[in-house]
Structure 1
C-alpha cells in the first residue's frame, strides 16, 4: 500500500536539493529530475507545496512524460489536506467553425474587390487626364 502524505508534509520538500510535487493525487519526488526538466527547475520548485495538477495539465505533457513520472512516485496525497480541491477541467475555448471563417473572408472580399477595381479605374482615368 502506498504511503499517504499531507500537503504540509509535501510542502516541506521545497528546495532544489529536495523537491516534491503533487499531481493528480500522487506525490512525486522530482529532485533528481530538476536539471533535466525541459521547462527548467524553477517551474517544478514553484509547484511545491500545492496541488500542481492544473499547472501540469495546462502545459500539455506528452504520454512519455506522464509515463516517466512513475519513477519519481513516492506516495499519495491526503486530499482532505488540500484546500479547495477540485477536479481538473481544461480551459473553455470557443469552437472553431471553419465555415463561418470562410464566409467572413468571402464577404470581406466581396466588399473590397469592387472597391479596388473602382479605385484602379479612377486612378487610370485620373492619371491619363493629367498626363495629356
Structure 2
C-alpha cells in the first residue's frame, strides 16, 4: 500500500478538534477520533495539531502498545522535500562507565542508608 504524500501546508489546515492531524517522524496521523481516548488528555494532541509532534512524542516515552496503536491512525507521510531527520526513541543505557558507576553507588548507598535508619529507629523505640 502506497501512502499519500502530504505537505506541511496541507497538514497545518488540520489543527483543531474537528480535524486533528499530527506529524510524528515524517508520518502523518489523523488522531481526531482518538482525542477523547488519549490517556494524556486531548489537550496534548491539540497542542501539536497541524504540526510536527515528533520531539514531544519521543520525550513522553510511549510504550510499544501505543506505537502499535498509532498505525491505525496513519493517513500518509510528509512529502520527501519537507522531511526531517527521524527523532530516535530515548533509551536508557547501562553500558556506559558513568551509568555503571551510578548503579554501583546506588547499590551501596541504599543498603547503608536503610541500615542507619533501622539503627536509629531501634535505638529510639526499643532501647530506652
| Same structural fold, with TM-score higher than 0.5 when normalized by the shorter chain | yes
Q: SS of 1:76's equivalent?
A: strand
Write out aligned runs for 1:1-132 (5 A): 1-81=2-82, 85-89=84-88, 90=90, 95=99, 97-101=102-106, 105=109
**Alignment RMSD:** 2.7
Which consecutive residues of structure 1, in runs of 5 or more, have no partner in the other structure?
A: 114-132
Q: SS of 2:99's equivalent?
A: coil
1:92 shift after superposition: 8.7
C-alpha distance in 2, partners of 1:62/1:92? 14
**Is the radius of gyration larger for structure 1 or structure 2?**
1
1:3 shift after superposition: 0.6
- Residues 63 and 101 of structure 1: is their aligned pair in 2 closer, same or farther, counting only changes over 3 Å? closer
C-alpha distance in 1, partners of 2:9/2:105? 51
- Residues 41 and 102 of structure 1: is their aligned pair in 2 closer, same or farther, counting only changes over 3 Å? closer
TM-score (norm 1): 0.67
1:87 shift after superposition: 2.8
1:41 shift after superposition: 0.8
Q: Aligned residue for 1:119?
A: none
